[in-house]
Amino acid sequence: MVDVGHKEETERVAIAKGSVKMSPETLTHIADKNIKKGDVLSVAQLAGIMGAKHTASLIPLCHPLALSHVNVFITINNESHALDITSECKITGKTGVEMEALTAVSVAALTIYDMCKAIDKNIVISDIRLTHKSGGKSGRFDAE
Active centre residues (catalytic):
114
User: Which of 80, 84, 59, 83 is closest to 1 using CA atoms?
Assistant: 59
CA angle (105, 53, 30) in 5-degree steps: 40
CA gap 87, 103 in Å, rounded: 9
Q: How far apart are the first and last CA of the chain?
A: 29
Cα 14 to chain centroid, rounded: 10
CA angle (71, 76, 78) in 5-degree steps: 160
User: Which of 117, 89, 103, 107 is closest to 46 using CA atoms?
Assistant: 107
